[in-house]
Structure 1
Amino acid sequence: MEDETTVYEELGVPRVVNAAGTKTRIGGSLIRPEAVEAMSRAAEAFARLSDLQVRAGELISEVTGAEAGYVGSGAAACMTLAAAAAIAGDDLGTMARLPDTDGVPNEIVMPRTHRNGYDHAFRAAGAEIVDVGNNDNYLGTGSNSTEPWELADAITDDTVAVGYMQKVFSTPPLEDVVDVAHEHDVPVIVDAAAEVPPRENLSAFVEAGADMVVFSGGKAIRGPQTTGILAGKREYVRSAALQHLDMHVAESVWEPPTELFDKDALDGVPRQGIGRPLKVGKEELVGLIAALEAFLEEDQTELDAEWEARLAIVEEGLADIPGVTTRREPGGKLMVAPETYVDVDPEAAAVDAVELVGSLRTETPRIFVGSDDLSDGGFTVNPMCLTDDEAAYVAERIREATT
């Protein structure tokens, strides 16, 4: 691996070789060169952020098929904005009080198997999550974890939305959830943060009837890590924008973009809303626009071949190590890219998987691999954020540690 000094070493911070994928805790993905250049140029001048949001929203609407689009400071931020929009609508008083929802409908119904740490983003806006169903799929009884009737039964006058975490194994099917929710006149919010590529997923959930869909701007799209995309119905995007943009201005000179708001339909200028801490800078907005445009032009077939070839480098480097076996896992389940699963037999190898993965993280540079399967004695190598040289280096360091 080329021994180039990064800005991190100059700051005295250990560099990371990222074989784990687009993980926020180690910086997400590498921003596209087109986005870096656009961000640098954006830093040289000024623009009204609401105007930039309109331009970004036009692109998001075009690529997703949604009525409107918006940019927040990450996918979790967009989930908070979506929940806030579902709770407050156009009510400026409710917006001003969030996350206090005393006396205001605030429940988001979710299948229990869709619950995860990221739904804290809903609760940050003042939402209360009502989960339904059980874990029957995992018990092998043959019944489903959540039935559509259970969602319907949980929807009351206090329900503001149904939440849905999108994965290829998510049940019930999104279309069925949409049918139930819309029958009860409540919107569906889809967390699809890591669900691109394929490119078609940008529009798939809107086409399935979702009212708000959230994507990360800093994963496979490779925009700034602190960007997320909210695509959906105009009424909800409008509410999100009202609670996000800087409204600290005299009403007499407040001229919000007509593409976002009808000023005459509002009671006045909103206070700084729940979205204010989730602000996005002009550089990030421009960078996300550039990255999304580049992502749309990317040859996914070529990129898939590049990822497969990079994993072949890793697998060749790990061949014939006692106690270490590898297998190729196709993309599309938990990760969009294929991965190499590395199984470590501690009785034959020099270390077990936990010790190995932990030691790799203490090296210089640090090496991060996928650690979700450590309890089963294995880990994964993801090619998305590696160069070919780095792939060979990761294999070399694993071989050194296991022999």
Structure 2
Amino acid sequence: MSSQSTVYDELGVPTVINCAGEQTRISGTLMRPEAADAMRRAANAYVHLGDLQSRAGELITEATGAEAGYVTNGAASALTLGTAACIADNDYEVMNTLPRTDDVPDEVVIPCAHRNEYEVAYRVAGARLVSAGMNDLGNGLESVEPWEVAAAITDSTAAVTYVDRPHNQLSLQSVIDVAHERDVPVIVDAAAELPPTENLRRYIDVGADLVAFSGGKAVRGPQTTGILAGRAELVQSVALQHLPSGTHEDLWDPPRSLIDPDSVPGMPRHGIGRPMKVGKEELVGLIRALELFLEEDESEVLREWNERASFLMKKLREIDGLVVSVCNEDEPDTVTVLHVGLESTEELDIETLIRRLRAENPRIFVGEQTLNQGVFRIVPKTLTTDEARHVVDRIRAHVIDFEG
């Protein structure tokens, strides 16, 4: 590995070798150098944020096929602002009272199996979450059926949300169909669903009203950016509740690609999105990163990731005491993920090994989502080749230390 010092060395903060994938708590992913350079150059001039959001929106609409696009302060902020748009639409009176939602539809229906720790993003906007269906207890039934989503929709429903994950049984199309039959918009949380690149268009193509992506994962833009794409009316509501106005009302001149001033009563007040502002540097960095993401040879990137996974699997299997398997062996179009466990836990248990790896400098973080199965995950997409070698060496050292 490189011995070159970093700014974190200067600050006395240990760096991390990331085997866990694009997780926010360990910095998501590494920004593209071109995006970082664009951010540095963006810092050297003033710009009207509305103009810059408009340009970013043009790129997002080209990439997604949506009517409009917007850059948010992370994917979670995209969900919050999208929810606020579904609740308030273009009603300034409602916008000015959020997250209080007196006498307006404020329920967001979510399939029970899709509930997760990120749902706070909807509640921040004032939404009340309503579960549809129940969890599968292993009886062979789908965890949630479309009719259960339909049954949860009432006159108090502002939106239905769908969290896209590879293991979903409930199809997005069925959710969109039942929601649109009742004139209710659908928000898709696709924060981590890139690659494949085709997912940028897939959700809009099947009729989703709003889709949220992370800008700081596979796109490799600034970690604090998100992408929101969808219907123009809803994106306009997002812009009205997010873009700062701060001018004399007679001089208010919003970006026409995002806001039609003739459709609203005048200049909006600061909305619920004010604490979620996106700076010019982040906007420029996201624009550049998205441009490069769209230009990438996706198959070549996947090949590189999977070659690294093959190297890791071969070397780890050479270590006595380890059990290494591929968790997605039947999915050739996805990056290979390894599960690593121990043959015997008499001397060394998996939690102790994880703690010891994290205590090193640089700290080594592996994925702990599967810890209850007695294994940890290694995701090669966030590793360099040199880091992969270092990880193998350090795991070997700890296993041998206990066996010796």
Shift in CA distance, 332/60, structure 1 to aligned 2, threshold 3 Å = farther
Shift in CA distance, 286/331, structure 1 to aligned 2, threshold 3 Å = farther
| Separation in structure 1 between the aligned mates of residue 219 and residue 330 of structure 2, nearest angstrom | 16
Instruction: Give secondary structure in 1 for the equivalent of 2:158.
Output: strand
Given residue 21 of structure 2, which amino acid in structure 1 is its aligned partner? G
Query: Shift in Å at residue 319 of structure 1?
Result: 2.6
Given residue 38 of structure 1, which amino acid in structure 2 is its aligned partner? A
Selected match of 1:399 from 366, 390, 396: 396
Identify the residue that residue 239 of structure 2 maps to in structure 1. Answer: 241
Given residue 276 of structure 1, which amino acid in structure 2 is its aligned partner? R
| TM-score, normalised relative to structure 2 | 0.96
Identify the residue that residue 63 of structure 2 maps to in structure 1. Answer: 63
Identify the residue that residue 2 of structure 2 maps to in structure 1. Answer: 2
| Separation in structure 2 between the aligned mates of residue 97 and residue 245 of structure 1, nearest angstrom | 17
- Structure 2 unmatched runs, 5+: none
| Separation in structure 1 between the aligned mates of residue 278 and residue 307 of structure 2, nearest angstrom | 36
| Separation in structure 1 between the aligned mates of residue 221 and residue 367 of structure 2, nearest angstrom | 22
Given residue 385 of structure 2, which amino acid in structure 1 is its aligned partner? D
Instruction: Give secondary structure in 2 for the equivalent of 1:242.
Output: helix
Query: Shift in Å at residue 330 of structure 1?
Result: 3.2
**Contact conserved, 1:195 with 1:336, CA < 8 A, in 2?**
no
| Separation in structure 2 between the aligned mates of residue 346 and residue 283 of structure 1, nearest angstrom | 50
| Separation in structure 2 between the aligned mates of residue 263 and residue 201 of structure 1, nearest angstrom | 32
Equivalent positions of 1:377-392 (< 5 A) are 377-392=374-389
Identify the residue that residue 130 of structure 1 maps to in structure 2. Answer: 130
Identify the residue that residue 282 of structure 2 maps to in structure 1. Answer: 284
| Separation in structure 1 between the aligned mates of residue 257 and residue 329 of structure 2, nearest angstrom | 38
Query: Shift in Å at residue 367 of structure 1?
Result: 0.5
Selected match of 2:153 from 149, 152, 155: 155
Q: Which runs of 4+ in 1 moved over 6 A?
A: none
| Separation in structure 1 between the aligned mates of residue 359 and residue 77 of structure 2, nearest angstrom | 31
| Separation in structure 2 between the aligned mates of residue 330 and residue 301 of structure 1, nearest angstrom | 17
Tell whether 2:358 aligns with 1:361.
Answer: yes
Identify the residue that residue 297 of structure 2 maps to in structure 1. Answer: 299
1:49-93 deviation line (CA, Å, top 9, x unaligned) = 111111111111111111000000100000000000000000111
**Contact conserved, 1:331 with 1:337, CA < 8 A, in 2?**
no
Q: Percent identity?
A: 54
Number of residue pairs aligned between Structure 1 and Structure 2: 399
Instruction: Give secondary structure in 1 for the equivalent of 2:242.
Output: coil
| Separation in structure 2 between the aligned mates of residue 332 and residue 56 of structure 1, nearest angstrom | 37
Selected match of 1:322 from 292, 297, 320: 320
**Contact conserved, 2:302 with 2:334, CA < 8 A, in 1?**
no
Query: Shift in Å at residue 320 of structure 1?
Result: 3.0
Shift in CA distance, 336/11, structure 1 to aligned 2, threshold 3 Å = farther
| TM-score, normalised relative to structure 1 | 0.96
Identify the residue that residue 13 of structure 2 maps to in structure 1. Answer: 13
**Contact conserved, 2:64 with 2:200, CA < 8 A, in 1?**
yes
**Contact conserved, 1:326 with 1:341, CA < 8 A, in 2?**
yes
Shift in CA distance, 331/384, structure 1 to aligned 2, threshold 3 Å = farther
**Contact conserved, 1:317 with 1:396, CA < 8 A, in 2?**
no
| Separation in structure 2 between the aligned mates of residue 310 and residue 321 of structure 1, nearest angstrom | 17
Query: Shift in Å at residue 152 of structure 1?
Result: 1.2
Query: Shift in Å at residue 119 of structure 1?
Result: 1.0
Identify the residue that residue 96 of structure 2 maps to in structure 1. Answer: 96
